[in-house]
């Protein structure tokens, strides 16, 4: 009978988490203008999810509100409010909305860097546009996934993979851990995924909001390289003298990285003087180097080490 008692306790704990988290989750309804061959300009309705991250501030996916001329928010208590898009970044598939309602408690944000395969998570949102939070339960299947949406060409990095059900309408809602903290933003942008779902890490959301606060807008800072984490197997195969870092998969011709000599097979071990081993760490180092104009990198090519400051390109989003 002990196992039944444990199951009841777990069930109650999950219900408590859902009850608290749901208060901060909103259903998002959009109206997007579109051209029709027969009827000319017409309005297309869309739906998604989001959650409160600050006073009157809501995070969701960029693709949920992309091109919307009208955004309506419906809170868990049934109250409706008009939303306004104040910032968006298609490269991160994130958007920040402003609401006139400021009395809803923000959802606590966790640390997605600590997530491990096997951890239980809850997906909270409005699948198929049905008003009011709906819940699905699953585990983290993998972390650090990188996927390409072929239709848009957008590359999403460091994704959390889960077997919890994510359907259209869930996009933009939170994935939460057993402490009731948001650890990701669910995304259904990869339409071909079957039986698995993906979430943008909450640390990417924190960074998105930090950049907006620092620069007043989202920016895209880059040097022109595609990299992947260096593993022990790759290090052995390539003969790299180090076991941690980022291996250069491609340096795009004509970009600063290519002009300054970065080539396929090089291993980046430090950026701005700090050791790096994830794509996110390199991206953040590049963003933090905007004001300096270049990012200082320590690189191995074979057994030879060199240091260079690669110019940073900044684009308005």
Instruction: List pLDDT tens digits, range 203-230.
Output: 999 999 999 998 888 888 999 998 888 8
Per-residue pLDDT averaged across 168-180, rounded?
A: 91
> Within a domain: residue 60?
yes
Q: What's the whole-number average pLDDT of the chain?
A: 88
* Domain end call among 159, 181, 215: 215
Q: Are residues 308 and 230 located together in one domain of the fold?
A: yes
> Within a domain: residue 311?
yes
> Within a domain: residue 107?
no
For residue 190, pLDDT beyond 70? no
* Contact assessment for residue 293 and residue 312, using Cβ atoms and an 8 Å cutoff: yes
pLDDT tens-digit series, residues 245-270: 999 988 999 999 999 999 999 999 99
* Domain end call among 76, 99, 122: 99
Give which of 212, 228, 231 is closest to 220, Cα–Cα.
212
Q: Are residues 13 and 95 located together in one domain of the fold?
A: yes
Q: What is the distance between the alpha carbons of residues 197 and 124, in angstroms, rounded to a whole number? A: 13
Q: Report pLDDT for 41.
A: 67
How many separate domains does the chain show?
3
Triad 180, 63, 112: Cα angle to 5°: 30
Q: Are residues 180 and 153 located together in one domain of the fold?
A: yes
Residues designated as active site: 63, 93, 171
pLDDT tens-digit series, residues 78-103: 999 999 999 999 989 999 999 999 89
pTM here is 0.84
Quote the percentage of the chain above a pLDDT of 70: 91
- The domain in which residue 176 lies consists of 112-215
Q: Which two tokens stand for residue 205?
A: 């959301």
pLDDT tens-digit series, residues 26-68: 999 999 877 665 666 667 788 899 999 999 999 999 999 998 9
Q: What is the distance between the alpha carbons of residues 209 and 181, in angstroms, rounded to a whole number? A: 17
Domain of 199, CATH number, reads: 2.40.10.10
> Within a domain: residue 123?
yes
Q: Are residues 205 and 249 located together in one domain of the fold?
A: no
* Domain end call among 215, 241, 260: 215
The model's confidence at residue 2, banded by pLDDT at 50, 70 and 90, is: low
């Amino acid at each position: 009978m002990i196992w039944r008692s444990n199951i009841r306790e777990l069930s109650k704990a999950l219900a408590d988490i859902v009850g608290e988290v749901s208060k901060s989750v909103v259903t998002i309804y959009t109206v997007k203008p579109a051209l029709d061959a027969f009827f000319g300009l017409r309005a297309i309705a869309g739906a998604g999810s989001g959650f409160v991250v600050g006073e009157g501030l809501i995070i969701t996916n960029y693709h949920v509100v992309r091109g919307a001329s009208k955004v309506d928010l419906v809170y868990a208590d049934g109250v409706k409010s008009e939303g306004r898009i104040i910032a968006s970044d298609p490269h991160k598939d994130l958007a920040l909305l402003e609401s006139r309602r400021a009395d809803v408690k923000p959802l606590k944000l966790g640390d997605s860097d600590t997530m491990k395969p096997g951890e239980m998570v809850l997906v909270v949102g409005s699948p198929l546009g049905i008003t009011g939070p709906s819940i699905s339960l699953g585990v983290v299947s993998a972390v650090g996934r990188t996927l390409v949406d072929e239709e848009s060409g957008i590359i999403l990095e460091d994704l959390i993979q889960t077997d919890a059900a994510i359907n259209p309408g869930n996009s933009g809602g939170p994935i939460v851990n057993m402490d009731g903290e948001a650890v990701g933003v669910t995304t259904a942008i990869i339409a071909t995924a079957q039986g698995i779902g993906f979430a943008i890490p909450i640390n990417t959301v924190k960074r998105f909001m930090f950049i907006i606060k620092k620069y007043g807008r989202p920016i895209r800072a880059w040097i022109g390289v595609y990299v992947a984490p260096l593993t022990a197997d790759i290090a052995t195969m390539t003969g790299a003298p180090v076991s941690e870092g980022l291996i250069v998969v491609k340096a795009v011709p004509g970009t600063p990285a290519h002009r300054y000599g970065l080539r396929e097979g090089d291993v980046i071990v430090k950026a701005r003087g700090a050791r790096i081993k994830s794509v996110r760490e390199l991206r953040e180092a590049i963003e933090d180097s905007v004001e300096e104009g270049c990012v200082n990198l320590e690189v191995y090519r074979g057994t030879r080490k060199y240091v260079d400051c690669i110019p940073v390109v900044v684009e308005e989003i």
